[in-house]
Amino acid sequence: MKRREFIRSSGISTISALVGSSLLLKACHTEEDMIGEPNWIVEGSFDRPLIIPPVVSGNVQLIAQSISGEMLNGKPTSLLSYRNGLLGPVIKASTGETLSVQLQNNLSEKTNIHWHGLILPENMDGHPKDVYASGNSFNYVLPIQQRAGTYWYHPHPHEATARQVFMGLAGMFIVNDNEELSLNLPSGDAEIPLIIQDKRFTGAALDYSPTNDEIMTGYLGEQILINGVFSPYANVKKGWVRLRLLNGSTARVYNLAFSNGMPFHIIGSDGGLLSTPETATSVMLAPGERADVLVDFSALAIGQELFLVSNKFSKYDLQGRQAFTIMKFKVDGNSSNSFTLPSTLSTITSIPASSSIRTRTFDIATMIGGDGGHGGMGRHSINGKIFDMERIDETVEGGTTEIWEFDNGMGDEIHPMHIHGVQFQVLQRMGGRNEVIATEKGWKDTVLLMPGEKVRLIMTFSGYTGTFVLHCHNLEHEDDGMMLNFEIV
């Protein structure tokens, strides 16, 4: 059932369902907003320097804690953090290394860490059943067996994931390998991690308090932060710069571009390098997705400024109908490094569809009725099921290859689908955009489905046995029950 049909059939009054008074006091985040005024982003003056989180490696300790930090115009707010600062550190590791990360839970609630994109044993993956109480600790042992790429980490406690991520528990995880190092890609100050998140504030206080309607659509903030900084700028040199882009928002999709329309080169996606660079003037990133991008600033004059923006991508959805500015780049000198964009980046062997032993179909468009559960007026589901921690929904064999089809053809909401414990390839998109986009030409772990779209994915499961999850990475949808267990045997 589509969301509008569900509201009509659920007996909720038109006024309260479409223009709830509590929503009008904050912003237009309602069903009415899909055909009325857009959700306006509040932009700043872009005069605060971008902060780059510290880089750590080897044996790492992450302390989940409540702290006071600055996020909006330098004013303090309560937030959650893995360190004494904004967001978590950037963790770096190399393929073949085994990393030890100790989580110390100093929160007043349960938490854990999911290593998004990493293929790990079941007990290290961060399944919602594997959470740790306040005051407890757990040592994650992470064998790094995949290729170089931009991954990330965040909590995964059921019904609390969105809030914990929104309040600050997230960080980037970078894997390096010899193949990537041989390309001599821009590094040092010319390699910039950018974690993009939208936030909402009451005054200067970070505010996560979604209404029932916002659980249905996703919680959207009015301020865009990069690495925890509102309206920042970054100095760059005339020359090549590598941007590691991560959409760390709970629900917002970005259509990233530069304000002058200049092209850039996509060299990697969720699971690492593409086979060849893909030239683009914009790239869409859903929550959980990453893009590795090279930008040549050499044509700009010293002193020139330009902006990273999000362009419109929809006339009808709750989001995507407003273009807004995210951050500013200032060219402040000449680069001393020389770099030539390689024509070949990596070897990606396509998985033939003929190697699949089974095709599974997942209906992600259906809303089901509820008794006032997490969403209050209906639940997001997959194949008509709401998440049950103890139920195994699908069973697959380790080492085998399958095709999974996610069907949002009859849906009117945006769903980025994420699968734990595997990297996949996108075979086909049907409906909507009706094409495989540049960032989907490599290895992926999260795929965006716009309303009216269906995608076919192919994947080979690892030899790690146990229970993993697949879910919508609109984290409000995930917490609302849009998640299933699958078991690798």
pLDDT at 377 over 90: no
Apex 18 CA angle, 16 and 22, nearest 5:
55
Domain-embedded: residue 475? yes
Q: Looking at the structure, do residues 259 and 369 belong to the same domain, yes or no?
A: no
Structure tokens at 407: 């069907």
Q: Looking at the structure, do residues 14 and 117 belong to the same domain, yes or no?
A: no
Give the phi and the psi of residue 34 in degrees, each rounded to 5.
-65, -25
Domain-embedded: residue 40? no
Domain-embedded: residue 136? yes
Domain-embedded: residue 347? no
The domain in which residue 257 lies consists of 188-334
Binned at pLDDT 50, 70 and 90, residue 14 comes out as: very low
Distances (CA, A) of 282 to 94, 109, 293, 297, 369: 30, 40, 11, 16, 38
pLDDT for position 9:
43
CA distance 257 to 398: 40
Q: Looking at the structure, do residues 294 and 268 belong to the same domain, yes or no?
A: yes
pLDDT in tens, 193-248: 999 999 999 998 999 999 998 999 999 999 999 999 999 999 999 999 999 999 99
Q: Are 444 and 426 in contact (CB under 8 A)?
A: yes
pLDDT for position 378:
61
Q: Looking at the structure, do residues 173 and 204 belong to the same domain, yes or no?
A: no
For residue 213, give the nearest of 404, 466, 29, 76 by alpha carbon: 29
Domain-embedded: residue 165? yes
Percentage with pLDDT > 90 across the chain = 83
pLDDT at 438 over 50: yes
Last residue within a domain, chosen from 131, 153, 181:
181
Binned at pLDDT 50, 70 and 90, residue 75 comes out as: confident
pTM for the full model? 0.92
Q: Looking at the structure, do residues 25 and 156 belong to the same domain, yes or no?
A: no
Last residue within a domain, chosen from 158, 181, 204:
181
Q: Looking at the structure, do residues 419 and 299 belong to the same domain, yes or no?
A: no
Residue 408 φ/ψ region, left for φ over 0, alpha for ψ in the -120 to 50 degree band, beta for the rest = alpha
pLDDT at 482 over 90: yes
Percentage with pLDDT > 70 across the chain = 90
pLDDT for position 39:
59
Q: Looking at the structure, do residues 98 and 154 belong to the same domain, yes or no?
A: yes
pLDDT at 275 over 90: yes
Q: Looking at the structure, do residues 66 and 201 belong to the same domain, yes or no?
A: no
Q: Looking at the structure, do residues 273 and 245 belong to the same domain, yes or no?
A: yes
The residue among 37 and 412 whose pLDDT is bigger is 412
What is the domain count for the chain? Answer: 4
pLDDT at 15 over 80: no
Domain-embedded: residue 341? no
Domain-embedded: residue 207? yes
Q: Looking at the structure, do residues 203 and 327 belong to the same domain, yes or no?
A: yes
Last residue within a domain, chosen from 334, 361, 395:
334
Q: Looking at the structure, do residues 407 and 479 belong to the same domain, yes or no?
A: yes
> What mean pLDDT do residues 466-477 have?
98
* HSE, side-chain direction, 13 A CA sphere, residue 142: 32
Structure tokens at 419: 């699968």
Domain-embedded: residue 41? no
pLDDT for position 38:
47
- CA 4 from chain centre, in angstroms, equals 26
State the CATH number of the domain containing residue 479: 2.60.40.420
Distances (CA, A) of 452 to 296, 365, 418, 429: 36, 9, 18, 10
pLDDT in tens, 318-344: 789 999 999 999 999 998 888 999 999
Structure tokens at 478: 């995930």
pLDDT in tens, 114-137: 999 999 999 999 999 999 999 999
Q: Looking at the structure, do residues 131 and 198 belong to the same domain, yes or no?
A: no
